[in-house]
Amino acid sequence: MLQLIFLGLLVCVGCSADSQPDEAPDAFAPLDAASEPSDAGLDATGPADAGPDCGPHGEAHGDHCDCHRGYVDQGGRCEPLPECEGDDPFEPDDIARDASACDASCARALCPADRDHVVLELAAGAALSIRVTFDAHESLRLTLYEPGRDPRFDEPIARAELVSGETLDFTVRRDGEHLLRIEGDPFDATGVYLLELM
């Protein structure tokens, strides 16, 4: 008998005459309604700023594609790079860790959508110019990083897009190995260029 009274108290804890289940607020949606996806606020055509369809070899960033190695953005789609004949013996030097040294001058070659990295040993306080000369390209982009800087994350100390014969001018702030990145246009022909440190 004592057990029945105790069980009755457990069942009725929190119950009152003015709080019946059929009058309780509808705090939870039924299980089958909750499992249906909500489409509130979505456009049937998808996000408005989705960017280009880069395909399986790249990711959209704004209005262009960041393509994986060996692919290039061609009209909003990552396509394989054409075979390159006549590249230089310093390849692969497409990433910073594969950079090779360049002294007062060095000749290199760029294929379409290629990039080269070279290391320049420089002394603080020097006012220097890097001249680039070439025939096969409309222009080349030069970007210079201080020692210890990572080109994936850090800002360069100098950068310029140059036509043949122009110079990238800068003052060296720190002693040590500076990284220089040279890039051509994805649609340029393969061609040799000459770097001269003046």
SS3 string, 41-109, reads CCCCCCCCCCCCCCCCCEEEECCEEEECCCEEECCCCEEECCCCCCCCCCCCCCCHHHCEECCCEEEEE
pLDDT band at 188 (very low <50, low <70, confident <90, very high): low
Which of residues 145 and 39 earns the better pLDDT score?
A: 145
What are the domain boundaries of the chain?
A: 96-197
Residue written as tokens 């970007």? 143
**Inter-residue contact 120 to 102 (CB < 8 Å):** yes
What value does the mean pLDDT take over residues 4-13?
43
What are the φ and ψ backbone dihedral angles of 51, each rounded to 5 degrees? Answer: 80, -175
Q: What is the pLDDT of residue 134?
A: 86
The tens digit of pLDDT for each residue in 66-94 reads: 888 778 788 888 888 766 665 677 777 78
Q: What is the pLDDT of residue 8?
A: 41
The tens digit of pLDDT for each residue in 110-120 reads: 877 778 899 99
Of the chain, the end-to-end C-alpha distance in Å amounts to 104
Which of residues 174 and 95 earns the better pLDDT score?
A: 174
pLDDT band at 172 (very low <50, low <70, confident <90, very high): very high
The tens digit of pLDDT for each residue in 18-31 reads: 544 444 444 444 44
In CATH, the architecture of 96-197 is Sandwich (2.60)
Q: What is the pLDDT of residue 86?
A: 57
Nearest Cα neighbor of 72 from 81, 85, 63 is 81
Tokens of 130: 């890097």
C-alpha 132: how far from its chain's center? 27
In the chain, the percentage of residues whose pLDDT exceeds 90 is 28
Average pLDDT, the chain: 75
**Inter-residue contact 102 to 195 (CB < 8 Å):** yes
Count of H-run helices and E-run strands, the chain: 2, 13
Q: What is the pLDDT of residue 13?
A: 47
Listing DSSP states for 131-178 in one string gives EEEESS-S-EEEEEE-TT--TTTSPPSEEEEE-TT-EEEEE--S-EEE
DSSP label of 48: T
C-alpha 117: how far from its chain's center? 17
